[in-house]
Amino acid sequence: MTLPSYQRYRRPPPLYRLARAFRRAATIALVLVLVFLATAVYSAVEVVRSGPSAGNFSAAFAANDTVAVSGILNFQNPGFYPISGFSVHVRVLNESLVYLGEGSFGPVTLASGSSQAIQIAFYLPLGTSGPGASLLTQDQNLNVSVWGNATYAYLFPISIAVETNKSWGAPFANLAISVGTVTVSGTGAVAPVTIQFDNHAKFTESGTLDFSLLSSNDVSCGSDSLDVAVPPGGLFDQTTDVALSSGCSPAGGHLEAVYVGNGGTIPLPPEKIP
Amino acid sequence: MSAPSAPPPLGYRIPSLGYRILAGGLRLLPLLVLLVGLPDAALAFLQSHGIHLPLSILTVTVAGIAIAVLSTARYVFKPTVAYGPLSVATSAVTIAYLLTIFVTSTYVFNVPQHAIAIGIGVMGLIGLLLIAPALSLVAGLVTTIEDVRTPRERLPFDYPP
């Protein structure tokens, strides 16, 4: 039996309509969330497939007795959603797990469909009294911790932490300074000073090595300078005669040397003179 | 001229209990695949690769079966006054399940054989996913009230002849 149209299309009661509205809203909300989730996952896969990379890392002497380690992080975001609050922190410990330095950048936002090359640089102290002094003369494995944070697609906080060991080549590895026997001639006293080291760093050392011979009571007996041009893996071995001040004996004192070059002024560990 | 008479009551045609059980059973299978099979397979896959999430396979299985069975019962008992309470129960279990995930919604897992730890927070996503069962719960409450106040009022619209 076919019902008349007024009966077939009579308006549902209010409570029924209210419940139906909530059910439809629930279905729409679920569908929207699932569509968002699907597009977010797809976009995340695209970001991973775009191959974020880190490269061009280099180390060089810098001002204030430091060595600057710098590099470039390349990121692409081909997805539909931005990566916001993106920041990276780097912390470096020496081989004995003593804190050397840290660096960070960000936060930045990588908009959807953008690519960005981010320069990162941090500085390790090389001062002769600090824990970084060993970086000058000792090859070692540095403990490098990198961690980053970001929020992906507005909703997903993401963090990543990487801990790794990086070999460090000392720019003045096996540093050896020796002062020979003082000889006296008609023009005065001279002391032969021999300085040797290997450049295990990945950069060429180009500059001068200024040094002074100090007596046991810290009076300068004489000073000189040597030109330095040592490529990575190269050996420096030079001897020079240093004229001594009249009546000043370096015996029992020490030799202080400063490397000036590559944009920095780096004091080397003092060497005792027997 | 005579006064207009009230429209006759609407009719409805409710499928038999046997049919509803059969249809509900058929509906149960994809629900179990979606709520239990796929999540368990994903968790097992991750565990086999050394990635352990705080959500256990047991929790996923129990919650998935509970939601699927309640949803099926809701379908079977739709013509009865149990529909509203079953809708509320289904939504409540779903919300409880999502809140369980919400509590441990920051996953940190270590990439095997690498000193890499990756953390992902899904708190915002769970918050969004909670909207749908919350709305369904309200719908179930409204239906329960409707069934108490005027039993069978909704049947002509749920099961039109």
Domains recognised in chain A with CATH numbers: 1-168 (2.60.40.10), 173-272 (2.60.40.10)
Find the radius of gyration of the CA atoms of chain A.
Answer: 33
Mean pLDDT, rounded, for B96-124: 84
How many angstroms away from the CA of A143 is the closest CA of chain B? Answer: 12
Residue B151: inside a domain: no
ipTM of the prediction greater than 0.85, yes or no: yes
Q: Which domain holds residue B141?
A: 17-145
Q: What distance, in Å, lies between the first and last C-alpha atoms of chain B?
A: 32
Residue B12: inside a domain: no
pLDDT above 70 for A85: yes
List Cβ neighbours of B44 (8 Å cut-off, separation of 6 or more).
Answer: B57
Contact B146 A157 (CB under 8 A): no
Mean pLDDT, rounded, for A140-152: 89
List Cβ neighbours of A245 (8 Å cut-off, separation of 6 or more).
Answer: A220, A221, A222
pLDDT above 50 for B99: yes
Tokens 């469909």 -> residue: A113
Tokens 């569509």 -> residue: A35
Please state the domain count of chain B.
1
pLDDT digits (tens, 9 = 90+) for A6-46: 455 578 899 999 999 999 999 999 999 999 999 999 998 88
CB atoms within 10 A of CB B1: 3
* 78-117 of B, contacting A, C-beta below 8 A: 106, 108, 114-117
Residue B119: inside a domain: yes
Q: Which of B119, B142, B161 sits opposite A19 (nearest CB)?
A: B142
Contact A37 B106 (CB under 8 A): no
pLDDT at A9: 58
Mean pLDDT, rounded, for A57-81: 82
pLDDT bucket at A52, cuts 50 / 70 / 90: confident
> At A71, phi and psi to the nearest 5?
-165, 175
Q: Which of A3, A22, A30 sits opposite B138 (nearest CB)?
A: A22
Among chain A residues, the shortest Cα distance to B10 is held by: A7
pLDDT above 90 for A253: no
CB A61 within 8 Å of CB B153? no
Q: Which residue, among B71, B87, B88, B138, would best test binding to A if mutated, counting the most A CBs under 10 Å from its CB?
A: B138
Q: Which residue, among A41, A156, A166, would best test binding to B if mutated, counting the most B CBs under 10 Å from its CB?
A: A156
pLDDT at B4: 62
Please report residues of A whose CB lies closer than 8 A to that of B142.
15, 18-19, 22
Angle at the Cα of A269 from the Cα atoms of A266 and A272, rounded to 5 degrees: 140
CB A228 within 8 Å of CB A259? yes
pLDDT at B2: 56
Q: Which residue, among B146, B147, B155, would best test binding to A if mutated, counting the most A CBs under 10 Å from its CB?
A: B146
CB A227 within 8 Å of CB A211? no
Element (H, E) at B31: helix B17-32
Least confident of A101-105, A190-194, B114-118: B114-118
Contact B125 A29 (CB under 8 A): no
Residue B26: inside a domain: yes
Residue B55: inside a domain: yes
Residue A113's Cα: distance from chain center in Å?
Answer: 28
Q: What's the mean pLDDT when you consider all of chain B? A: 90
Sign of CA dihedral A97, A101, A107, A113: negative
Beta strands of chain B (E only): which ranges? 106-111, 116-121
Q: What's the mean pLDDT when you consider all of chain A? A: 86
